[in-house]
């Protein structure tokens, strides 16, 4: 096959990925067109994708390879970020292959085997295959079993085989354990990459850099200096077109055991002995295991749930959750959750971590607020003590990516009066913007065999272990006051009360 020489748009930072074929189950879905294809193209443009690379899409619809390629090209025009190099795209699209079939039909896997043998030969991919399961979660275990039955999960010294599994990984502790067992019967843990797309975000990875590449933070990163931590994942969107899925999941399952647990474990973990995958994940897992399990009483006093009603977000009128497509008109599913948790270890004993996430809030903003203790006594008589805000370090995860530190400063004038100021740092001011979907790093890591940013079996189970008592109590005591917050507000009033009881307040960012 003739090959066009490609001039990379961006200089390469990092190692070129191994030659391989990426097989995408659920190829016709949203994730493929919005994230996976643009991410692979971005990797190619940064010269991080091997030249010996190919994609095999698997989905139900019968389509010829030519039809698939034109559809992928059309979609890409819509979702590409940054400028597109047409020569590079031509090179890329020639590597896209397709088979159709049901995921639970043995014939699909026989066809996949034949196609992979041919694609591997044509593109020189050294027999390295990874399977991305962008399907409904019901198929995860079955697909991996079937791949194993036809020998496609079998590794030897000359090639590797891996599988990337999307969330949700189970819908409670028992189902997550059962899925882990099913997978581990036919594959080894080192072949399984459980993805959490939050770990693909630069600023989430930057929590590690901030904490461990700077000498000044570590000595004060503990209970002696830190009063409490707030982790907020606020969204303005509602359930969009996912009412059918979401109504069975709810905010707790959708966001807490995965994304929020990643943020808490990176914020609270001990320094790892190296950046080797298991060294980092061991420390994260220890935090998840150290989170105090809730008793039933704790669930009642330390967790808050809410569901949005009608309201206005960004000047636009919004429907109530119960009026969204695919949602029953009497749904009791929560779209908001707030929790207070404690971490039982020497570093954090007695320091509350407040977590919240919700849909249809006034701002889209994910951040971690580290609030430090107040200065021990106040010398400044002209500034009432209650007006003095303690120092806060805010890690802004999205949409703005940056760090800000709030501290007190003298306001100009003859009197010794204090005001508060913020010192802000934005990543884009220093590093510019590289086109990114958030999936580039994760796909590249899988292609080089680095599992640091993926979840191990024990971590997924530990996340579920934390939320399971909440699921049980909430199921036994269905909410009676839903909807309990209008769209466009910061959630139910009980959430503010959860903080006020401790003499604290949420810090809200509208942008």
Catalytic positions, written as ranges = 259
CB of 167 or CB of 360, closer to ligand BG6: 167
* Interatomic CA distance for residues 495 and 500, integer angstroms: 9
Least distance (Å) from ligand BG6 to the CB of residue 37? 17
C-alpha torsion angle, residues 372, 373, 375, 380 (rounded to 10): 90
- Residue with nearest beta carbon to ligand BG6: 254
CB of 123 or CB of 201, closer to ligand BG6: 201
Per-residue interface string for the shown chain with ligand BG6, residues 337-376, x marking contact by CB under 6 A: ----------------------------------------
Backbone angles phi, psi at 161, to 5 degrees: -135, 130
Least distance (Å) from ligand BG6 to the CB of residue 487? 15
CB of 120 or CB of 254, closer to ligand BG6: 254
CB of 246 or CB of 485, closer to ligand BG6: 246
227: contact with ligand BG6 by CB under 6 A: no
Contact 142, 149 (CB under 8 A): no
Binders of ligand BG6 among residues 166 to 205 (CB under 6 A) are 167, 197
CB of 38 or CB of 272, closer to ligand BG6: 38
254: contact with ligand BG6 by CB under 6 A: yes
SS3 assignment for 254-302: HHHHHHHHHHHHHHHCCCCCCCCHHHHHHHHHHHHHHECCCCHHHHHHH
334: contact with ligand BG6 by CB under 6 A: no
Per-residue interface string for the shown chain with ligand BG6, residues 141-170, x marking contact by CB under 6 A: --------------------------x---
Least distance (Å) from ligand BG6 to the CB of residue 167? 6
Backbone angles phi, psi at 281, to 5 degrees: -70, -30
Least distance (Å) from ligand BG6 to the CB of residue 177? 21
Least distance (Å) from ligand BG6 to the CB of residue 398? 6
Q: Tally the C-alpha atoms within 13 A of residue 441's C-alpha that lie toward its C-beta.
A: 19
Q: Are strands 226-234 and 336-341 parallel, antiparallel or unpaired?
A: unpaired
* Interatomic CA distance for residues 178 and 507, integer angstroms: 39
235: contact with ligand BG6 by CB under 6 A: yes
Cis ω for the linkage preceding 10 (within 30 of 0): no
* Interatomic CA distance for residues 298 and 303, integer angstroms: 8
Give the tokens for residue 125. Answer: 């991919």
Residues of this chain that interact with ligand BG6 (CB under 6 A) are 167, 197, 235, 254
């Amino acid at each position: 096959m003739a090959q066009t020489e490609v001039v990379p748009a961006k200089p390469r930072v990092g190692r070129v990925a191994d030659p391989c074929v990426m097989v995408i189950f659920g190829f016709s879905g949203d994730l493929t067109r919005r994230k996976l294809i643009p991410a692979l193209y971005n990797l190619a443009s940064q010269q991080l994708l091997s030249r010996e690379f190919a994609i095999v899409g698997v989905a139900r619809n019968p389509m010829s390879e030519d039809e698939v390629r034109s559809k992928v090209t059309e979609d890409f025009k819509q979702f590409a970020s940054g400028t597109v190099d047409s020569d590079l795209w031509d090179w890329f699209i020639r590597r896209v292959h397709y088979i159709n079939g049901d995921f639970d039909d043995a014939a699909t896997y026989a066809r996949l085997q034949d196609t992979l043998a041919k694609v591997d030969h044509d593109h020189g991919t050294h027999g390295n295959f990874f399977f991305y399961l962008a399907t409904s979660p019901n198929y995860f275990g079955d697909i991996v079993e079937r791949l194993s039955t036809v020998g496609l999960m079998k590794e030897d010294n000359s090639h590797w085989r891996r599988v990337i599994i999307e969330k949700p990984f189970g819908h409670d502790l028992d189902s997550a354990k059962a899925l882990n067992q099913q997978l581990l019967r036919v594959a080894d843990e080192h072949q399984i990459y459980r993805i959490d797309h939050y770990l693909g975000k630069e600023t989430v990875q930057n929590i590690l850099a901030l904490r461990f590449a700077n000498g000044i933070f570590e000595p004060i990163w503990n209970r002696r200096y830190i009063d409490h931590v707030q982790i907020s994942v606020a969204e303005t969107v509602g359930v969009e077109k996912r009412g059918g899925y979401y109504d069975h999941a709810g905010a707790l399952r959708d966001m807490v055991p995965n994304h929020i647990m990643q943020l808490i474990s990176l914020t609270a973990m001990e320094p790892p002995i190296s950046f080797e995958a298991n060294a980092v994940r061991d420390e994260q897992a220890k935090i998840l295991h150290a989170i105090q399990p809730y008793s039933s009483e704790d669930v009642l006093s330390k967790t808050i749930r809410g569901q949005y009603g009608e309201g206005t977000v960004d000047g636009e009128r919004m429907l109530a959750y119960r009026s969204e497509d695919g949602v029953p008109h009497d749904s009791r599913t929560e779209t908001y959750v707030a929790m207070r948790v404690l971490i039982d270890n020497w570093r954090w004993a007695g320091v509350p971590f407040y977590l919240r996430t919700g849909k249809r809030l006034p701002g889209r903003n994910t951040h971690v607020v580290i609030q430090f203790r107040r200065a021990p006594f106040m010398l400044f008589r002209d500034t009432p003590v209650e007006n003095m805000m303690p120092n806060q370090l805010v890690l802004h995860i999205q949409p703005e990516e940056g760090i800000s530190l709030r501290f007190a400063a003298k306001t100009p004038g003859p009197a010794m009066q204090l005001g508060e100021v913020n010192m802000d740092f934005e990543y884009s001011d220093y590093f510019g913007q590289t086109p990114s979907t958030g999936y580039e790093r994760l796909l590249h890591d899988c292609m080089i065999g680095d599992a640091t940013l993926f979840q191990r079996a024990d971590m997924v189970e530990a996340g579920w272990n934390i939320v399971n008592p909440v699921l049980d109590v909430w199921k036994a005591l269905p909410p009676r006051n839903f909807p309990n917050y209008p769209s466009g507000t910061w959630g139910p009033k009980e959430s503010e009360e959860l903080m006020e009881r401790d003499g604290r307040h949420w810090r809200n960012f509208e942008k």
